[in-house]
Each structure stands twice: as C-alpha cells, then as structure tokens.
Amino acid sequence: MAKKSVLIIYTGGTIGMVADSRTGSLKAFDIGHILKNVPELGKMNVKLESVSFATPIDSSDIQPKHWIEIAEIVYKNYNAFDGFVVLHGTDTMAYTASGVSFLLENLGKPVIFTGAQLPIGVLRTDARENLITSVELAAHSTDGKPTVPEVCVYFKNQLYRGNRSHKINSELFQAFNSVNYPVLAEAGVNLNFDTDAIADRPILPIKLYKKLNSNIAILKIFPGLSAEVVKAVTGIKGLKALIVETYGSGNAPTEKWFVNAIKQAVKSGVIVLNVTQCYGGAVEQGKYETSRQLDDAGVVGGADMTTEAAVAKLMFLLGNYTDRAEVLEKLQEPLRGELSN
C-alpha cells in the first residue's frame, strides 16, 4: 500500500515548549524538537513533512490573521498531501479550528488540530499520543478516500468537529468536549468512526477565503449587569456585530433599558446574535417571555452554536458578504456543520 502523506503545521503552544533554564517558564521551541521526542512517528506507514510559523506563538496571542495563515498553508499544499495536522495551543484552539473551517470551503481532506496539556519533552505528557493518533487520523482513508474530510480537534482519544468543540478543563488531559454534536471518532484499540456524524465529501473544488472582519463584541449577561456597561458595549464605534451570551435557552433581562439598548443597536445596523452561555443546549428564542422581546427587537437566534463558532462565523460573514440580509440569512444556516438544522 502506498504511503499516505501528512503535513504537520506547527504554530506553537504547550506541545512544543521547553522550560527556560533561567526563569523556569515555558517557551516555544521548534518542530524538530517535537519529532525528536516522538520516534514512533518514523515507524508509521506515513510520509511526514512539516512547516512552522516563522515565530511559534502561544495560543493566547493567536489572532484572526493566523487563522488565515493556517488556511493558506493547507490550501497551497492541498494537492500534495492526504491530510494535515495542526499543532496549536489549547486555549484558543476551538476558535482557530472554527475559523479555519469557514475559511476552507468544500474541504475534502482532514485538518486535525491537536496539542497538549504538558510539553512533549515531559515524561508524563499527553502530547505523544495526541500527535501520533492525529497523524493516523489525518492519513486514514475509507474506500480510497479520506475518512474525515473536515476540520477537527483531536484530544484524549476523541475526535471532535472543530467548530463544535470547546475547551472544558485547564488541567485534565480530557481538555475538550462537544456537547451538542456527536464525537466523530474514538481511539482505542481501533479507530472507531461515527460515519453518520462525519461531513459528506464535497463534490466541488476547495475554495479559500482570506477576509475576516473582527469588529464584533461579546456581551455576557449576568445578574447585576448595568445599563452603563450595556450602553458602552452596544455603542462601540464601528461595531458590526454583537454576540449576547444569554441564560438558558436564550433568556435575558426584560428591563426596558436593556431591551431598548438592544433595539437601538439593531436599528443602527449592528447584527445581534443570541447564544446560550450554558455548556450544552440551544437557544429557542421566543420560547419564554424573557427571550420573546429579543426576538421582537430583531435579534438573531444562534441555535446550538458555541460562542467560539459564533465569533468565527460572524468574522467570516462580515468579511466576505456586504449585503446585511444575506449575512443574516447565512448566519442561521449550517455552513460548515456548526449548527443543527
């Protein structure tokens, strides 16, 4: 059987870090250090190549421009490789995976994001298993075609759709989860795929988008939220969209000052998207009186999108579509499997 080829894209993050001998803090190293610490990769029937950011960065410093850089690397090398593994810090991995999923339309090959809670050179690290299995997943095929033709996150034996993933823990190796969508694959003795959950292979050529508009804000509802804060956020100069993280199934305060502030934002052209701050579940705007007023004000219900996916989707839509009606329409459609019908 011919070897599959996988391109490893190293952006930075804990997985490739080493301790600074002077301060003891972790700093980024390089891809050679990673491959040196995982000799098992040389035993796989996979041809590996790697590319690294010019300056590896901590995921806390990741910006939308880096999403575009990753998407461009995949696009430029798309025909030369069977799959891609992106090594990335965990803190913003769900944001980046979501962003890249929108930037690559008609993706027909695996782009697997992974990382680690401990550096790869540490004895009791999760990095080696995450990297080895991610490479295996990226190279996996069924009937001669890629098994998982979408952007994913792999962590601790489970493969998630990237724009459905969320970091749930900063200490445990089980750092990610996907409450509102099934796990795409589980890695045990065998790789077990949920073929019903995996995206269909596209029939059109891959398309790269390179525009994102980050003029958005997030307003998290909490008891005691003041009118001054809401007014300051909704009145940000140049604001294009506002994500409101509401209670439960999309509920928010019914005080007149709050509803009027949201109405005024919508009236001024700001797109307001309602997502739940709950760990799982979906927004059902209008189900209760506390969300019906948002519906009447012109707020868009975000269904079961994560905040990370909502951020990425709004940046993508605002960057590539100028017609407000079209943005609103596409915001409520599943473009990359980020929300349920």
* Strand 141-142 with 83-87, pairing: unpaired
- Phi–psi pair at 186, nearest 5 degrees: -125, 135
Query: Is pLDDT at 21 greater than 60 in this prediction?
Result: no
Q: How far apart are CA 119 and CA 241, in angstroms?
A: 37
Q: At what angle do helices 93-103 and 307-320 cross, to 10 degrees?
A: 30
Provide the pLDDT confidence category of residue 30 given band limits of 50, 70 and 90.
low
Mean pLDDT of 107-129: 88
Query: Which domains are seen in the chain, by residue range?
Result: 4-208 (3.40.50.1170), 216-331 (3.40.50.40)
The chain-wide mean pLDDT, for the chain, equals 92
* For the ranges 41-45, 174-178, 225-229, 287-291, the one whose mean pLDDT is highest: 225-229
Output the pLDDT for position 31. 66
For 233-277, write each residue's pLDDT tens digit. 999 999 999 999 999 999 999 999 999 999 999 999 999 999 999
For 168-201, write each residue's pLDDT tens digit. 998 888 889 999 999 999 999 999 999 999 999 8
Bridge partners of 7, per DSSP, are: 49, 84
Output the pLDDT for position 263. 96
Which residue numbers are catalytic?
14
* Strand 17-19 with 26-28, pairing: antiparallel
Provide the pLDDT confidence category of residue 337 given band limits of 50, 70 and 90.
very high
Amino acid occupying residue 224: G
Query: Which of 28-42, 62-76, 202-216, 313-327 shows the lowest per-residue confidence on average (mean pLDDT)?
Result: 28-42
Amino acid occupying residue 14: T
Q: How far apart are CA 317 and CA 322, in angstroms?
A: 8
